[in-house]
Structure 1
Amino acid sequence: MSGVPNEVRGVVAEGYEEVREAFATVVAQERPDYAGQLAAYVRGRQVVDLWAGPETDGVDGDTLFGVFSSTKGAAHLVVALLVQDGVLELDRPVASYWPEFAAGGKEGVTLRQVLAHQAGLIGADTGFTPEELADDRALAARLAAHRPYWRPGAAFGYHALTIGALTGEVVFRTTGRTLQQVYEERIRAPYGLGFFLGLPEEQEHRFRSLLPMDPTPEQRAELGAVPQGPATLEAISFNTHGEHPTDLEALPNSRLVRAKGPASVGGVASARGLAGMYAAAVGVLGGGHAPLLKADTVAEFGQVHAHGIDVVARTPAAFVLGFQDPTVRYPWLGAGSFGHSGAGGSQAFADPRAGLAYGYTRRRFAYPGGAAPENVELVAAVHRAATR
């Protein structure tokens, strides 16, 4: 840990000075070893490009961190593109693409239901091995034969570790390419994004390992007071119930996970990469790039499909198609916003009505898990500046 005070580096555009101030406040309130990044695009230009971290760690704007479920945003941008191309149909049964999926009473489950976390296929009774969780096709083979944990369409619940494998297998069955390959060929490489689903060995030098959550005694007591059960829907969804319980914090530090880039949780990214992907999706990246998604596709995938109590997390939630509805956490964002947070604290989204794309990463797993609390102030500052 460096003894030198952590400093904010990078630039903001004129009119976004309050964003730098808000980020500096975050850095000042964190531990001295805090490392994180903040980036935003607004109507065709990058207006925020900030980072902080001990100089001894070599963190800069291109550094890559594990972004957990923010990976789901990249995965389902691939699905949105294939729907836009006419390759996939949202209301077609998954089993028509993937016949083995029909087992266990799933023959009528549609791609739309899977994307809305309504399929009930959150895990397996006996759990998964670490090797299976790193390999979407192995995970899909296990899931195909499994019965749903609720009647598909009757409820929704967070498919934390499985949704990317489910949608990824549909992509593979229709294109002959893995979801990761399609993402690389159509999204990451053409736009030069620092957001990888499968990190090449030659890019490993950019990655910084995740640091575990370091709760205060009060926070530790709060975590200990949360009811835990060995076979609850939440335990099954996060694979903590079987013979090989998943240590969520350890996932991005596994070279196997980084190399394979499982589409639910295995991505590594910079804030530039997160924001840049959403900017490319809705056409606010600039540089002459055409939008990845047409307006009708953005509207379809930005519609709320599941809203109410998540039966896995037992908390209020809302999902659009394959993405979270970020207005649940940031209610000032425009209707039709879509994005995804990650367990370690990352957050990324697009607000098409404001012409805004946002990305935030941090190195240490944030308390209590999910989008780090500081995102509330950071998103508010960026949005105020963008819509002023």
Structure 2
Amino acid sequence: MTVTKYEGDVAEGFGRVADAFVANFDERGDTGAACAVYVGGKLLVDLWAGTTNRTGGTEHPDGSDGAPFTHDTRSVLFSVSKGVTTVCLLMAAEAGQLELDYPVAHYWPEFAANGKDAITVRQVLAHQAGLIAPTEPLTAQQVQDWTPVTQALEKQAPLWAPGTAYAYHAMTVGWLAGEVLRRATGSRPSQWLREKITEPLGLHMTFGAHLDDPDLALIGEPLPAAPDATPAIDTVDAAMLDRVMGLGAFDGLDLFSAVNRADWLEPEIPAGNLVTTAHDLAKLYAATVSDVDGVRLLQPGTVRDARLPLSVGAPYVGVDEGNRWGTGFMTDSLRRRMTGAGSFGHDGAGGQLGFANLEQQLSFGYQTLRPGGVPDDRAEALCRALRACL
């Protein structure tokens, strides 16, 4: 049996996390990945291993070319982006620049069209706005330009009466929340992230990246699904799913290929194309529950309020996978236990995960270059090991 060699450091008492990290390679198909854990503002786990396809080679079946995965290797973390965008809006709310329970139209008057005048900022973050996809397909250039997307969404009628249902806004929530932030503060998520988060904390984290970024690794070929597995998305109408995931601008049914193209990677997509490392993701979340290098992003009361579950059970579109959403964050659930009660964060397509736990003063980040099949136990295996260490 091959035993993968990893690089990095593991504090005493956290060896089980390293064991699970190795097992993700030797038993669960990882090819290039990293994992980091902070407790009390201190970095206790910082691991990386494997290879990348940062030069675009395809010598290996998984799409990698054998270049080493390093501590600084960045990759797209898909919907992990939503948790980071949420942190931006919560910071703005703490600063008194927006109110979560005010109508979106208070900041963005045009949004009130077609029965959306009462939808609140909190409902947008909780996937309750009823705007899961544009009614008319967009182009990649419109996505790049930002405003055409927000204008398309502001004109739409919601799919359901506001406040009566929810469904996952896979891509649109980024523009909805991001435009609220822009209208209320003058900063889109990229600017807020840079000025208020990454510069103070010293992070290499952006919404989007250029293909020539030397630290960028492309996403590899997905792992195969189990023979008897039925992905939840297979229960959704394919045309609807394509618009939900791709907006009409990209192939929403094959995001793992679309993500490696410049037209998807380079725009600012606050719900889907955060590019960073596991370490920097964990450090950001650490600063939501503790002081890190003298920086704290959120106060305890804000965290407690944001993690209260708002959207649970069967969604308006799709099936109930067991997820629970608060104000922008996924909270602990049977599907995503994280480190148990009080955990909040967000996962991403292909297996990525970032979260924190206020009471435990803990944060976690996991990135992988090889998207998981169905089921995908890699992040949860790391979380089980982490729980056993606490």
TM-score normalised by L of structure 2: 0.88
Q: Secondary structure at the match of 2:355?
A: strand
Name stretches of at least 5 consecutive residues in structure 1 with no aligned partner.
none
- 1:91 pairs, out of 101, 110, 122, with 101
- Structure 1 stretch 310-319 or stretch 75-84: which is displaced more? 310-319
| Per-residue deviation, 1:127 | 2.7
Aligned residues: 374
For the 8 Å contact 1:38–1:49, the answer to whether it is kept is: yes
Structure 2 residue 377 is the aligned partner of structure 1 residue 373: yes
The residue aligned with 2:317 is: 312
The residue number in structure 2 matching 1:205 is 214
Distance in 1 between the 2:291 and 2:384 partners?
19
CA contact (8 A) 2:226 2:373 kept: no
Contact 1:35 1:54 in 2 (8 A): yes
Q: Could you say which residue in structure 2 is the equivalent of 1:279? A: 286
The residue that corresponds to 1:229 in the other structure is: 237
Is 2:332–2:338's contact at 8 Å kept on the other side of the alignment?
no
SS at match of 2:8: strand
Q: How far apart in 2 are the matches of 1:153 and 1:87?
A: 24
Superposition TM-score, scaled by structure 1 size: 0.89
User: Equivalent residues in 2 for 1:89-238 (5 A)?
Assistant: 89-199=99-209, 204-215=213-224, 218=227, 222=230, 226-232=234-240, 234-238=241-245
Deviation of 1:314 after TM superposition, in Å, equals: 1.4
Output the aligned Cα RMSD.
2.4
Percent identity, aligned pairs only?
A: 33
Matched, 1:296 2:293: no
Change (3 A) 1:82 1:216: closer
Residue aligned with 1:260, SS: coil
Per-residue CA distance 1:41-61 (angstroms, 9 max, x = gap): 011211111111138312112
Which letter does structure 1 place at the counterpart of 2:380?
V
Q: Deviation above 6 Å: which 4+ runs of structure 1?
A: none
Query: Hey, what does 2:265 align to over in structure 1?
Result: 258
Judge which range, 61-70 or 46-55, deviates more: 46-55
Cα deviation 1:179-232 (Å, max 9, x = unaligned): 210111000111012322243688x1000001121415726x745993452444
Question: Distance between the aligned counterparts of 1:225 and 1:102, measured in 2?
Answer: 31
Report if the CA contact (8 A) 1:72-1:263 is conserved: yes
What residue in structure 1 maps to residue 7 of structure 2?
A: 9
Partner Cα distance (1:243, 1:71) in 2: 19
Q: How do 1:310-349 residues align onto structure 2 when only pairs under 5 Å count?
A: 310-315=315-320, 316-331=322-337, 333-349=339-355
Deviation at 1:266, TM superposition (A): 1.2
Which structure has the highest helix share of the two? 1
The unaligned stretches of length 5 or more in structure 2 are 53-65
Residue of structure 1 equivalent to 2:55: none
CA offset at residue 334 of structure 1? 4.3
- Structure 2 match to 1:65: 75
Report the 3-state secondary structure (helix = DSSP H, G, I; strand = E; otherwise coil) of the residue aligned with 1:39.
Answer: strand
Q: Which residue of the other structure, out of 32, 37, 42, is the alignment partner of 2:39?
A: 42
2:222 maps to amino acid: M
Aligned to 1:356: 362
Q: Identify the residue that residue 27 of structure 2 maps to in structure 1.
A: 29
- In 2, the alpha carbon distance for the partners of 1:226 and 1:109 equals 30
State the 1:6 CA deviation: 4.3
Give the distance between the partners of 1:312 and 1:381, measured in 2 at CA.
34
Partner deviation per Cα, 1:333-360 (whole Å, 9 max, x = no partner): 3433210000121001001111110000
How far apart, in 1, do the equivalents of 2:307 and 2:232 lie?
Answer: 36
CA distance in 1, matches of 2:12, 2:32: 25
